[in-house]
Structure 1
Amino acid sequence: MDDTPLPREAVLVVNARSRRGEAMFKRARDALEAAGVRLIAAHGLRDPSHMAPTVRRSVQAGAPMVIVGGGDGSLSGTVDELVGSDCVFAVLPLGTANSFARTLGLPLDLEAAVAAIANGRRRRVDLGVINGDYFVNSASIGLSPLIGATVPHGLKRYLGRLGYLIWAVRCFFNLRPFRLVIDDGNVEHRLWSTEVRILNGRFHGGVELSETAEVDSGRIMIQAVTGRSLMRLCADWYAKFFKLRDRDAHTQEFVASAFRIDTRPRLRISIDGEVLTRTPADVRIAAAAIEVAVAAD
């Protein structure tokens, strides 16, 4: 971890359409300025498609730090704009699962997250890359893309993780096992699976799915729920949610710097909650790609 203090000037960009974004934008702006972070500009955007261009313009204008408020999808959708720059990426966890904030050890409370930005330190972390698209935390094949492609926005916005759970149960009955091929450049692995997680960190959907996946390891993890039984998938989520001793009994993990993934049939891939691509997919790690703001301790 770098002991260099974080910049005291920043641009704030908040997804005001996210579950808590609209209510939190003004509160975040006031809290940051009260904590001594001078805001060069503050944008509360109701159209998420405007977030990446706004961050791009801020980085190009020389902003020393960009603070993005929203869920994991908002973070992944904007992080590409900071790769190759000296701009620090800071996170206000205003989403449903906030998996990237959990991976970084950031507090999920707004005031505590602001304090981490105002008094924290820099940390250089990896990003995952799927078919050329950078992502901060995780991607998934199986149930998550079914949910992400069909969940009504209102259900997600007003019920949060409970809404995801309700919709997950509905989508579960449309899920089918698939043939999975994982090629790490040396060995080709073939197996049946019901869900695949591509992890740059420990969390996916707000649940800790791996104790060993690290955001600064220089390697990416593929975790496959093996077999053809949907009940095995349920058992895996149950075991990991409650952190049972046998929570890794239903999965197989592969770790490398790059993979080629294919499925039969071709399936959609959700990247930090947003359905953005399909198999086959080239997966790799972009080691030490950006600097992020983390708590001092």
Structure 2
Amino acid sequence: METDALPKQAVLVVNAQSRKGAEAFEEACRELTQAGVQLAGAFAVKDPEKIRGCVQRALADRAPMIIVGGGDGSLSSTIDDFLGSDTVFALLPLGTANSFARTLGIPLDVPGAVQVIATGKRKRIDLGCIDGDYFANAAAMGLSPMIAETVPHKLKKYLGMVGYLMWAVRVAFKFRPFRLTIDDGRSVQKVWATEARIANGRFHGGVELVEDASLQSGEIVVQAVTGRSLFGLAWSWFTTLFKLRARKQTTTEFHGRELKLRARPAQKISIDGELSAKTPVTVSVARSAVWVAAPADSA
């Protein structure tokens, strides 16, 4: 067997509370078995608080691969435990935005994702870190944490990205710009910002926002949407969504292995869609931290 081939035995842990989790569990079990992946255990977890414990038990039993079915929040709550382990993390994207799956190039349907798990390869990737809390894809401060903190679960579950956009319009009127300070250890820079993305991967909110971010670069990227107006933030999203040239003029990026961030007023931070931190923070990169299941043709 090739050294980068994926294991053929795995444990499946599905967040049954994720947008498509409950109905996808049986399909995933069936598709994985048909694809030749032997399931040493399969768990549909109805309480999201118990997902991490289920993954930790599988890691303690030295499962060759653990397949986590859920959204970016499920990923964020479990990825820390894979550090220092040879167990492969595999993903079934069952959430709303599925940003990490998009970054890895994993299809967003169950059969397509199972095909990657069955025929893909193991790949070593970096993780981002915010004050000891590791994440795979992206964190944000500004409007995104306001949405994450207040969006009704049923709105997100049944309407998906449309529900997110509807709620974003609702909370936008309460939003205020902030003064962001970035210290890379050599210089200190300050900008007015309406949003800041702390990126290990390219996608955030299901949209490719940070094109220069890479899971294997050894750097963390902080991308600030500069300015003080909500219109400027909307324009930045619009130009990015449609890949207009003007998108580069709406943001300023900072790269490094470790960056210290402060904000005035202090800002809450959502990590992979879950509210988890508050400025001031130190953000850094954990180089080649975990093994993941990736498409066979990924770079």
For the criterion TM > 0.5, the same-fold answer is yes
**How far is 1:38 from its partner?**
0.3
**How far is 1:155 from its partner?**
0.3
Structure 1 residue identity aligned to 2:255: V
Query: What is the TM-score when the length of structure 1 is the normalising length?
Result: 0.98
SS of 1:247's partner is helix
- Does 2:145 align with 1:145? yes
**How far is 1:255 from its partner?**
0.5
1:181 corresponds to: 181
Structure 2 residue identity aligned to 1:148: A
How many Å separate the matches in 1 of 2:49 and 2:84? 22
Q: How many residues align?
A: 296
How many Å separate the matches in 2 of 1:160 and 1:211? 24
- Does 2:267 align with 1:295? no
1:209 corresponds to: 209
SS of 2:247's partner is coil
**How far is 1:191 from its partner?**
1.3
How many Å separate the matches in 2 of 1:192 and 1:245? 22
2:8 corresponds to: 8
1:83 corresponds to: 83
2:236 corresponds to: 236
How many Å separate the matches in 2 of 1:67 and 1:49? 17
**Aligned pairs for 1:106-121 within 5 A:** 106-121=106-121
SS of 1:122's partner is strand
Which region of structure 1 is more displaced relative to structure 2, 3-12 or 278-287?
A: 3-12
Deviation per residue, 1:201-247 (Å, 9 max, x gap): 11000101122110110101000011111111000000111111221
Structure 2 residue identity aligned to 1:5: A
Percent same amino acid at aligned positions?
56
How many Å separate the matches in 1 of 2:221 and 2:43? 35
Q: Which runs of 5+ in 2 are unaligned?
A: none
CA RMSD of aligned residues (A): 0.9
How many Å separate the matches in 1 of 2:161 and 2:211? 22
1:42 corresponds to: 42
2:267 corresponds to: 267
- Does 2:290 align with 1:286? no
Structure 2 residue identity aligned to 1:216: Q
2:93 corresponds to: 93
1:33 corresponds to: 33
Structure 2 residue identity aligned to 1:7: P
SS of 2:246's partner is coil
1:132 corresponds to: 132
How many Å separate the matches in 2 of 1:133 and 1:4? 28
How many Å separate the matches in 2 of 1:270 and 1:48? 17
Structure 2 residue identity aligned to 1:108: L
Q: Any conservation in 1 of the 2:4–2:123 contact (CA below 8 Å)?
A: no
How many Å separate the matches in 1 of 2:222 and 2:274? 18
Q: Which runs of 5+ in 1 are unaligned?
A: none
SS of 2:249's partner is coil
Q: Any conservation in 1 of the 2:126–2:287 contact (CA below 8 Å)?
A: yes
SS of 1:6's partner is coil
- Does 2:10 align with 1:23? no
Deviation per residue, 1:143-182 (Å, 9 max, x gap): 0000000000000000000000000000111110111111
1:193 corresponds to: 193
How many Å separate the matches in 2 of 1:224 and 1:247? 12
Query: What is the TM-score when the length of structure 2 is the normalising length?
Result: 0.98
**How far is 1:3 from its partner?**
5.2
How many Å separate the matches in 1 of 2:81 and 2:250? 37
SS of 1:126's partner is strand
How many Å separate the matches in 2 of 1:277 and 1:255? 20
